[in-house]
């Protein structure tokens, strides 16, 4: 049994909220740089150049990449041999978010009730997902999610007979309907299987996976590659103004499901696909 204080958890989440909003992960940056070399549309190339300049300024000056610094989504994989000492776990996670958004001068965008809509003024509460795993460590993923692209996401409850072609149609339809509103170039997270809520969680988790890491399931890896190609043939392009760089990546996660269903979730994310990982 290993004891971990919630003070350590708070400090790490605070730092990760700030880092995620100031600097994009290397895999996404590399995809953007590569797309600047291959984008044939001159306007698209110009927009990609401006996005790169924005990333450089944010990193150099330690300021947010985007004015929408998102709603904090936190994934915790907690080792079953960990004993947490201190605050209530959920309170500790939210305290880390609160400190990060205040000390990092990040925009507070959370309202305490979806209809009354009074701002909580510290970007809490976050959306927290817990998983108990073997071991004596805690793996933390912090993914601040902006809502321009979040609002373009969709869930489909397909029939089993729709099969893989139905999944492809659902993903492509979502990207087409999003058009410029998801701030392309986008990263597309797809969840297939489970239940109504499980496929949405899979799609969200898919966005946190390194873009250079393909699925270990051969048919899923092939589907990621095919959809990536088809999305980039839609001519939506950077900023929605045309070009071959509509998506920087497509990540798919799958899970067992019921014989009567084929749930599919498509979670859209703009090029500011923010996520940080740490293990304590």
pLDDT, tens digit, 9 for 90 and up, residues 138-190: 999 999 999 999 999 999 999 999 999 999 999 999 999 999 999 999 999 99
**Do 78 and 182 lie in a common domain?**
no
**Do 14 and 127 lie in a common domain?**
yes
Quickly state the pLDDT bin for 54 (edges 50, 70, 90): very high
Q: Is residue 102 part of a domain?
A: yes
Give the pLDDT of residue 63: 97
pLDDT in tens, 106-132: 999 999 999 999 999 999 999 999 999
The range of the structural domain enclosing residue 241 comes to 148-275
- Please report which helix (H) or strand (E) contains residue 25, including its range: none
**Do 82 and 166 lie in a common domain?**
no
Quickly state the pLDDT bin for 19 (edges 50, 70, 90): very high
Q: Is residue 45 part of a domain?
A: no
Q: What percent of the chain lies above the pLDDT cut of 90?
A: 99
Q: Is residue 32 part of a domain?
A: no
pTM of the model: 0.96
> Please, are residues 150 and 113 in contact by the beta-carbon 8 Å criterion?
no
Q: Is residue 203 part of a domain?
A: yes
Residue 76: closest CA among 87, 90, 86, 88: 90
**How many domains are contained in the chain?**
2
Give the pLDDT of residue 87: 95
User: Last residue of some domain: 113, 145, 177?
Assistant: 145
Q: Is residue 42 part of a domain?
A: no
User: Last residue of some domain: 123, 145, 167?
Assistant: 145
Give the pLDDT of residue 255: 98
Residue 178: closest CA among 107, 98, 267: 267
Quickly state the pLDDT bin for 46 (edges 50, 70, 90): very high
- What average pLDDT score do residues 56-79 get? 97
- What average pLDDT score do residues 74-98 get? 98
Q: What percent of the chain lies above the pLDDT cut of 70?
A: 100
- What average pLDDT score do residues 20-34 get? 93
Give the pLDDT of residue 245: 97
Residue 178: closest CA among 199, 211, 148: 148
The two three-digit tokens of residue 232, written as one number: 């980039």
């Amino acid at each position: 049994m290993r004891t971990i204080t919630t003070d350590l958890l708070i400090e790490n989440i605070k730092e990760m909220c700030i880092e995620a909003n100031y600097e994009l992960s290397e895999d996404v940056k590399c995809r953007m740089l590569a797309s600047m070399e291959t984008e044939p549309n001159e306007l698209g190339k110009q927009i990609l150049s401006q996005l790169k300049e924005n990333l450089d300024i944010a990193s150099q000056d330690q300021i947010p990449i985007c004015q929408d610094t998102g709603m904090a989504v936190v994934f915790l994989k907690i080792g079953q041999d960990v004993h947490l000492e201190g605050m209530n776990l959920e309170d500790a996670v939210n305290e880390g978010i609160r400190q990060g958004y205040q000390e990092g001068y990040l925009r507070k965008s959370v309202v305490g009730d979806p209809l009354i809509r009074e701002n909580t003024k510290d970007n809490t509460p976050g959306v927290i997902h817990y998983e108990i795993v073997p071991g004596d460590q805690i793996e933390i993923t912090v993914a601040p999610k902006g809502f321009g692209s979040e609002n373009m996401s969709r869930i489909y409850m397909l029939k089993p007979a729709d099969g893989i072609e139905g999944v492809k149609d659902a993903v492509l339809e979502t990207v087409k309907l999003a058009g410029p509103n998801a701030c392309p170039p986008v990263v597309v997270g797809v969840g297939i299987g489970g239940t109504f809520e499980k496929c949405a969680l899979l799609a969200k988790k898919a966005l946190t996976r390194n873009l250079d890491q393909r699925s270990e399931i051969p048919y899923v890896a092939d589907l990621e590659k095919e959809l990536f190609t088809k999305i980039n043939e839609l001519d939506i392009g950077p900023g929605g103004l045309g070009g071959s760089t509509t998506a920087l990546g497509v990540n798919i996660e799958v899970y067992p499901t019921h014989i009567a269903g084929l749930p599919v979730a498509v979670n859209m994310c703009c090029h500011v696909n923010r996520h940080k990982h740490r293990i304590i």
